[in-house]
Structure 1
Amino acid sequence: MRNSARLLGLAVIAIVFSPILSGAVAGASVSDDQPPPIVEDYTYPGADQIFAQYGIRLLKGNGQILFTQCGSGGNLVEVWSRTKSNPFCFKISGNKGYLTLDLAAVYLIKGDDHALKATMVIKGSPVVSEIGKNTWTSAGEGADPVNGQSPLVELNSGSL
């Protein structure tokens, strides 16, 4: 009998205090005025604006290969495409960078002070080209007219 009285007492306490306890737990949740937790998906920041202004689609990267204005100083990677009369330029700031992108009709790439690999889609298959340091390298149609116009889909610096 004593045990059942104790259990009944505990049940009453649980019922009385459950709204208070649930409020405390609810108060511990993230409020609406706080930003959500940061989860990195490597989406390129400002990609839509860059595409609208320059016509290059930047997709994902680790932040060590960044699109920049040509002539902005420093040693830059230059990518020449038939979509524009001026090159697209990239600044490499680390030894292990990558950037996925979609840039049609690339025919020439100039490396900077980093070892660089460029992946292009030639006739439906990915083809990786080594781009030497500070060297001009023909790519896609520029390497062989039979390749036709080929998009550049990835840049890698260093060994990943």
Structure 2
Amino acid sequence: MKLSGRVLATAMLSVAVFPFASGIAAADDAPPPIVEDFDYPGADQIYAQYHIRLLKGDGHILFADCASGGTLVKVWSRAAANDFFCFRVTGESGYLTMDVPDVYAVTGDQHELKATVVVKNVATPTDIPKNTYTPVGEGVDPKNGFTPLVELRSGKS
């Protein structure tokens, strides 16, 4: 089969201008792979303002303004300007890893939680019942010393 010059020129122009139409894309045109690393968004700004380091989470436990009201988890810490920091739980389950210094209690909200503090270099999880002020770390025993909170979990996460 012989192609006319006009048909051949049109075909070549289509491949040159629309390379994706042929199903072949240049390597430079490929989008980068989407990889979720679960790093906490805005963590550097929160650290600069509140001196707590939020590390990774699934997006269901979020740092919150304590004045915003509603159902909040309160983390009682000697490092907090007003004695506590707040978090909002937005799903049936969630997790957030962090480094919140000098924690001595957690007040649960409508969700049962598990708070893990480091006591004398040992990760120590504590169940936090709904709507309950629960001592952890130093709050359980002053001999535990200053204890950082390293993780909050809610639900079955």
How high is the TM-score relative to the length of structure 1? 0.79
What is the aligned counterpart of 1:60 among 51, 56, 73?
56
**Over residues 4-51 of structure 1, what are the superposed CA-to-partner deviations in whole Å (9 max), with x where a residue is unaligned?**
xxxxxxxxxxxxxxxx89xx54536426xxx63321010000100110
Per the TM alignment, residue 54 of structure 1 is displaced from its structure 2 partner at its CA by 1.1
What is the aligned counterpart of 2:101 among 76, 100, 104?
104
State the partner residue of 1:149: 146
How high is the TM-score relative to the length of structure 2? 0.81
> Who wins on radius of gyration, i.e. which is larger?
1
**Over residues 116-143 of structure 1, what are the superposed CA-to-partner deviations in whole Å (9 max), with x where a residue is unaligned?**
0000110000100000100000111111
Q: Do structure 1's residue 70 and structure 2's residue 66 form an aligned pair?
A: yes
Unaligned 5+ runs, structure 1:
1-19
Q: Do structure 1's residue 30 and structure 2's residue 29 form an aligned pair?
A: yes
Q: How many residues align?
A: 138
**Quick one: distance in 2 between partners of 1:106 and 1:64?**
21
Question: How big is the alpha-carbon RMSD for the aligned residues of Structure 1 and Structure 2?
Answer: 2.1
Per the TM alignment, residue 113 of structure 1 is displaced from its structure 2 partner at its CA by 0.2
What is the aligned counterpart of 1:132 among 129, 132, 138?
129
**Quick one: distance in 2 between partners of 1:139 and 1:152?**
9
AA matched with 1:27: A
**Quick one: distance in 2 between partners of 1:69 and 1:119?**
22
**Quick one: distance in 2 between partners of 1:95 and 1:108?**
22
State the partner residue of 2:76: 80
**Quick one: distance in 2 between partners of 1:82 and 1:144?**
15
Could you say if the C-alpha distance between residues 29 and 85 of structure 1 is closer, same or farther in structure 2, counting changes exceeding 3 Å? closer
**Quick one: distance in 2 between partners of 1:159 and 1:51?**
28
Secondary structure (helix, strand or coil) at the match of 2:105 reads: strand
Per the TM alignment, residue 146 of structure 1 is displaced from its structure 2 partner at its CA by 1.1
AA matched with 2:75: V
**Over residues 92-129 of structure 1, what are the superposed CA-to-partner deviations in whole Å (9 max), with x where a residue is unaligned?**
01111000000110011100000100001100001000
Identity in percent: 58
Unaligned 5+ runs, structure 2:
1-14
